[in-house]
Amino acid sequence: MIKMSKFVNFMRDYVFARSVIPIGIIVIAIGIYASTIYGDRKDYPRCEATVTDSELLSGSYDSEDNTDSRVYRNYIKYTVDGQEYEGSIDSGDNMKIGSTVTVDYNPDDPTDVGAWTGLWLPILLISLGAAAIIAGCVSIVIVHKRVKGDGSV
């Protein structure tokens, strides 16, 4: 009976760490996966593209909450090795027709085009995951000191 009570106390006392550490690990794994996707494109050549049209794919804007979940498909024209290509990039921005945007393209298939975003998203995800794991570990130390120090929970 005493062992069950210790188990219940452990589960209750370390609930924050038990939640946040696995979430941190998952977020880091997503960040690493995202870095492989972005990493594959990091050496792709870049060029300037001109926005020719834009259409709303999905989402809405809520003026009360000031939240925007709209996704646009922006149609572009760009030139690679003297040949003009047309493509599209999906974005949260409704790009102005005639504006320019930097895109990267697959040198083996210039029709494979994407908006150059850099590695900020994977770095952000990995950093947030690491912060969650550190917060979970710190909470373990604090709870352990509190439980060990006064003998009560």
In contact, 53 and 109? CB cutoff 8 Å: no
Instruction: Evaluate if pTM is beyond 0.85.
Output: no
Amino acid (1-letter code) at residue 153: V
110 vs 96: CA distance, rounded Å: 23
For the stretch 41-56, pLDDT in tens is 777 888 999 999 998 8
Please provide the average confidence, as pLDDT, over all residues in the chain. Answer: 84
Domain ranges of the chain: 1-42+118-153, 43-117
Count CB-CB contacts under 10 A for residue 31.
Answer: 20
Instruction: Tell the CATH topology of 43-117.
Output: OB fold (Dihydrolipoamide Acetyltransferase, E2P) (2.40.50)
- State the pLDDT at residue 84: 95
Give the rounded distance of the alpha carbon of 68 from its chain centre: 17
Q: How confident is the model at residue 89 (pLDDT cuts 50, 70, 90)?
A: confident
68 vs 114: CA distance, rounded Å: 22
- State the pLDDT at residue 118: 66
Higher-pLDDT residue of 25 and 36 is 25
- State the pLDDT at residue 3: 60
The whole-number average pLDDT for the span 115-128 is 82
